[in-house]
Structure 1
Amino acid sequence: MAQSLATYIALPGTTAEAMEHWHEVFGGELEILRYRDAPMEGMPFEPDPEAVAHATLTLPAGVIAGGDAMDDGTDYPVRGSAYSLLYTTDTQEEARELFQKLLDGGGSVGMPLEVAPWGDLYGQVFDRFGVMWAFSCEAAR
């Protein structure tokens, strides 16, 4: 197997909904495995059978993977600015379209999509799940 790097997000019971939303926005190939469909032998816990054990959204530019967080009493906030998913587009129109789709899906602007001091188009949007998406596109020069 070739080396690769994917983003993995554990969401609080909303992984299926988030992955389906991102699939609508970005396209790609979506696979969702629920615990009811996974072999349970040797599992150290008993998860909700409807919870997402593993999901992948494969896009031309990369992979987003995730699963439902197990309720172990630990609070892992999703919304924050310590991380973002950086999506670089080929055209400004594509960046604007994807940005708007996330807003239309219940998101909010973190930073308007506009020409940044370094000269490229850049902006941030928090989707309705609290995940920050940053968009970048080389500005026409």
Structure 2
Amino acid sequence: MPPINLNPYIAFRDNARQAMTFYQSVFGGELNVMTFADGGMPHEPAEADRVMHAQLEAPDGLVLMAADTPSSMEHRPGGSISISLSGDDEAALTGYWEQLSGSGMVHMPLEKAPWGDSFGMCADQFGVQWMVNISGAATS
């Protein structure tokens, strides 16, 4: 039986390419972008260059997908979902935190939590909600 993947898929309004380029600068990896025109999908002429599908595959196995929401559809930035990054690589996770929160808004600083891990919550500059948990680590 082939593996099943569960990947975050973020909806943007006209700035998916900018957001995914930012995430590529944070996580590294290869970014593939297909526009509505590339995909042969029906679209408004002004939306031809908007992102129909983008996929970032980072070297450490992270996969992030995104698209621009067509103007004919409702768009709710941020929605009710947070993307969680967790593990024990303190340097990598702290680096992700610094980049994601740097131009965004920190809801809870990345610091030692009551359960012993370091934990923080933020929204990046695109309004996407992130949670970072570093197992048993202590950050300054």
In the alignment, the residues of structure 1 paired with residue 137 and residue 71 of structure 2 have an alpha-carbon distance, to the nearest angstrom, of: 47
Is residue 42 of structure 2 the alignment partner of residue 56 of structure 1?
no
Give the RMSD, CA atoms, in angstroms.
2.0
Shift of 1:18: 0.4
Q: Normalising by structure 1, what TM-score?
A: 0.84
The verdict on how the C-alpha distance between 1:85 and 1:74 changes in structure 2, with shifts beyond 3 A counting, is same
Counterparts in 2 of 1:29-108, with a 5 A limit?
Answer: 29-40=30-41, 43=42, 45-46=43-44, 48-59=47-58, 60-72=60-72, 74-76=74-76, 78-79=77-78, 82-104=80-102, 106-108=103-105
- 1:131 pairs, out of 125, 128, 132, with 128
Query: Mind listing any 5+ residue stretches in structure 1 that lack a counterpart?
Result: none
The verdict on how the C-alpha distance between 1:46 and 1:15 changes in structure 2, with shifts beyond 3 A counting, is same
Off by >3 Å, runs of 4+ in structure 1: none
Shift of 1:117: 1.3
Q: Normalising by structure 2, what TM-score?
A: 0.85
Check the 8 A contact 1:92/1:121 in 2, yes or no: no
Shift of 1:73: 5.5
Q: When the two structures are aligned, how many residues end up with a matched partner?
A: 135
The one-letter code of the counterpart of 1:71 is S
In the alignment, the residues of structure 1 paired with residue 96 and residue 39 of structure 2 have an alpha-carbon distance, to the nearest angstrom, of: 33
- Aligned residue number for residue 22 of structure 2: 21
Percent identity over the alignment is 33
In the alignment, the residues of structure 1 paired with residue 52 and residue 75 of structure 2 have an alpha-carbon distance, to the nearest angstrom, of: 19
The one-letter code of the counterpart of 1:111 is M
Check the 8 A contact 2:69/2:75 in 1, yes or no: no
